[in-house]
Amino acid sequence: MTYIDGFLIPVRTRDREVYRAHEAKWWPTFRDAGALSLVVGWGDDVPAGTCTDFRRAVDLKDDETVVFAWMTWPDKDTRDKAYAAMMADPAMTTGMEMPFDGKRMVFGGFVPILTEV
């Protein structure tokens, strides 16, 4: 069964292309490790909520935009093995500069319960 990784990321608005290039650079690594697809959405209509919202989830600053992204995998086992291999690779864990504040990134893995195309 397909597995989904979901992400909310605060990115400096001026760094939109830097962030896009970062995702484009790393996508082949994930694809080659078994990922099926990647979707990265730049916040366009992200309203403030009454109790909670995307902005508060990432502690969004005035000069930032929320990115909503997800990656699909054939199954959780493929995803888990891919992440384990990537974390064991020194090239993935040293010197990789992120164009966002990773401490405010929200992420999780999800089992689809409905897919409509």
Kindly report, residue by residue over 84-113, the tens digit of the pLDDT: 998 888 877 666 678 898 899 999 999 999
Mean pLDDT of 12-41: 96
Residue 116: inside a domain: no
In what side-by-side order are the strands of the sheet with 64-73? 37-42, 64-73, 3-12, 106-110
Establish if 115 belongs to a structural domain. no
Domain membership of residue 92 (yes or no) is: yes
73 — pLDDT class (breaks 50, 70, 90): very high
Q: How far is CA 116 from the centre of its chain?
A: 22
38 occurs within a structural domain: yes
Mean pLDDT of 44-56: 95
Residue 38 maps to which CATH number?
Answer: 3.30.70.100
Q: Is the pLDDT of residue 116 over 80?
A: yes
Total domain count, the chain: 1
- Which domain covers residue 70, as residue numbers? 3-110
Q: What is the predicted pLDDT for the residue at 67?
A: 98
